[in-house]
Structure 1
């Protein structure tokens, strides 16, 4: 009986390890392609947002960035309305969100399902920055 229980536990352990291994075979190639594309899109968003030059906090805004597997943005990116093409930045934001959602779905990703509130942005020393104690866009 002990041998049977031991074999059962080893089999369950092997199944659980394979299910949690992110490098396992069978992950669609689209997942890695979307990740590379997403990195490029995020870099383009950061470049478009620039340094977020401002003279007052009223010029500063935040853009939700990415998508957690459970929903909601991964982070927020501060930018200045003056000198930033908001329409283009928002379009890139939507593109990056779609790329992250596709990568999450293709990779079978999960998240902790927490709500990340918009921290707002303020003008500090001539550049827009996220409000206090908030995670920046990676």
Structure 2
């Protein structure tokens, strides 16, 4: 009876743990998304009231190389911490792209010339 109970417990443990497992690629992607979410939270932490208090930086890594996009941020946040997170994310995405053989369209996002405030939100001027 103890043997049967032990086997049943092992079977249940396997069933429940196997259903929750993500693939290694999904785990890597989830880490990337979590880091980007932190970056976006920091970037959106301030209301855009004065355009001169805002700047932008490239973020992410396209599989062909170069930035995936640009992100606006206020100069009133901890800029060095923010830029270090952006750099960490960009390097992590490059590693992810190489590791998982990710491909992209190789288009180059247009670099903004400035950030302007529109209804309290930063928008790019080209």
Preserved contact between residue 34 and residue 100 of structure 1 (Cα < 8 Å) = no
SS at match of 1:94: helix
Distance in 1, matches of 2:46 and 2:122, equals 5
Unpaired segments ≥5 residues, structure 2: 1-22
Distance in 1, matches of 2:107 and 2:75, equals 29
Distance in 1, matches of 2:46 and 2:66, equals 24
Which protein, 1 or 2, shows the higher relative CO under an 8 Å CA cutoff with sep ≥ 6?
1
Runs of 4+ in 1 over 4 A off after TM superposition: none
Distance in 1, matches of 2:125 and 2:82, equals 20
Distance in 2, matches of 1:49 and 1:70, equals 26
Unpaired segments ≥5 residues, structure 1: 1-27, 133-138
TM-score w.r.t. the length of structure 1 is: 0.66
Distance in 2, matches of 1:117 and 1:71, equals 14
**What is the CA deviation profile of residues 47-81 of structure 1, one whole-angstrom value per residue up to 9, with x for unaligned ones?**
11124423321111112121100111111111211
RMSD over aligned Cα atoms: 1.9
Instruction: Quote the residue 1:11 is aligned against.
Output: none
Instruction: Quote the residue 1:118 is aligned against.
Output: 111
